[in-house]
Amino acid sequence: SVPFLIRLFPSLLTKFVYLNFLAFPFFVDFRRPELLVNNTISLYLTTEPGVTVGIWHTVPSSRGAEAQGKDQRWYEEALADDHPVIIYLHGNGGTR
């Protein structure tokens, strides 16, 4: 019966393969990454009108002591220095 249902409803296959309707781990506020990951803040970029993308900026552990208690402005300035930036694209499930 499963192959028949997948043939009738192909969107079911993508839902169960990618499971992008689940927000895992459960009951975690991804807008507050400092509770989960050290030296991290949440920023938002507007890529085009009506589309806002949430990002996390994490500084390396070598700058961890310097990052303690800093505000968003400090993290934005840290992005502009000469250190490399690694971008991790995690998918389109609607969560981080």
In a domain, 8, yes or no: no
Is 10 contained in some domain? no
Whole-model pTM? 0.61
CA distance 80 to 69: 19
What are the angstrom distances between the C-alpha of 81 and each of 7, 37, 59, 74, 78? 53, 22, 12, 11, 6
As a whole number, mean pLDDT of residues 70-83 equals 86
What is the mean predicted confidence (pLDDT) over 67-92? 83
pLDDT at 49 (0 to 100): 92
Q: Which domain holds residue 69?
A: 21-79
> For the segment 10-61, what is each residue's pLDDT rounded down to a tens digit?
887 777 777 767 766 677 777 788 877 888 888 888 989 988 888 888 888 8
Domain count, the chain: 1
Q: Is the pLDDT of residue 89 over 70?
A: yes
Position with higher pLDDT, 75 vs 26: 75
